[in-house]
A and B are shown apart, each in its own frame.
Chain A
Amino acid sequence: AQSVTQLDSHVSVSEGTPVLLRCNYSSSYSPSLFWYVQHPNKGLQLLLKYTSAATLVKGINGFEAEFKKSETSFHLTKPSAHMSDAAEYFCVVSDRLTGGGNKLTFGTGTQLKVEL
């Protein structure tokens, strides 16, 4: 089974400084990887997805992630943090189900705090 590991449960940055949220995956074949964000008491919003077309993936709100097969990593970055980025971030791997649909397996999440 595929899995993802988020290496930091909490990350704190100052507004205007870079953000790095780390994720490593485990998969025996080319994985389908995603980053989702969840603001307090809200649902999940897709930030970006890895489709194997390009290793550097650009997402919404200035976020991007780089797929590195040699390091089995899919870290999320943003050049300059904004107060509105404070949220929980999930790295997710997807498995296709034989009956149709996909099973998303979530990492344990990283709480991003942005300070003035």
Chain B
Amino acid sequence: DTEVTQTPKHLVMGMTNKKSLKCEQHMGHRAMYWYKQKAKKPPELMFVYSYEKLSINESVPSRFSPECPNSSLLNLHLHALQPEDSALYLCASSQVPQKNTEAFFGQGTRLTVV
């Protein structure tokens, strides 16, 4: 199983809402990532978890709150988002800590903030 599963596929939320994005993998990978991709742009790294601990936060606003409850799951909690946060949010996983290891991506959650 080389799959990373993200739910939901689409999400529309108001600026006062609280929602969560979920990501799951069963490849035994101990590094998991959140990327944000705006239309017609490459993905940009938001967070990295290594062995269920947050290792990288790329200066992401606090209205985005990641959580890694176990080695298979990664969540992204959303609160008080702005319309400019509308984007495709991609989850990925990889082995740790080998060089040249590829990341496996989910299909993404298309988020629209209204």
Chain A: residues with CB nearer than 8 A to chain B?
32, 34, 36, 41-46, 49-52, 90, 94, 96-97, 99-104, 106-109
- Least distance between A28 CB and chain B CB atoms (Å): 15
- 6 A-B pairs besides A43-B107, A97-B56, A99-B48 with CB distance below 8 A are A44-B43, A45-B105, A49-B100, A51-B100, A101-B49, A104-B43
Q: Residues of B at under 8 Å CB distance from A?
A: 4, 6, 30-31, 33, 41-45, 48-51, 53, 55-56, 90, 92, 94, 96-97, 99-108, 110
Closest to B103 in A: A104
Q: A-B pairs with CB below 8 Å: how many?
A: 80
A51 contacts across to B, CB distance below 8 A: 100
Using Cβ atoms and an 8 Å threshold, which residues of chain A touch B108? 42-43
Residues of B within 8 A of A103 (CB): 45, 48, 56
Chosen A-B contacts, 27 in total, with CB atoms closer than 8 Å, are A36-B105, A42-B108, A43-B6, A43-B105, A43-B107, A44-B43, A50-B100, A94-B99, A94-B100, A97-B48, A97-B56, A99-B55, A100-B50, A100-B51, A100-B96, A100-B97, A101-B31, A101-B33, A101-B94, A102-B31, A102-B101, A102-B103, A104-B43, A104-B45, A106-B42, A106-B43, A109-B42
* Chain B: CB-nearest residue to A106: B42
Q: A56 CA to B97 CA in the complex, in Å?
A: 25
* A108 (CB) vs chain B CBs: closest residue: B42
Tell me whether chain B's interface is mostly helix, strand or loop, or mixed: strand
Smallest CB-CB A-B distances: 6 pairs: A100-B50, A99-B55, A101-B31, A106-B42, A44-B105, A43-B105
With the chains together, A49 CA to B50 CA distance in Å? 22
Chain A residue, CB-CB nearest to B10:
A41
* Interfacial chain B residues near A102, Cβ < 8 Å: 31, 94, 101, 103
Q: Are A99 and B102 in contact (CB under 8 A)?
A: no
Contact A101 B105 (CB under 8 A): no
Q: When the two chains form their complex, are residues B90 and A43 in contact, meaning their CB atoms are under 8 A apart?
A: yes
Q: List the B residue with the shortest CB-CB distance to A111.
A: B40
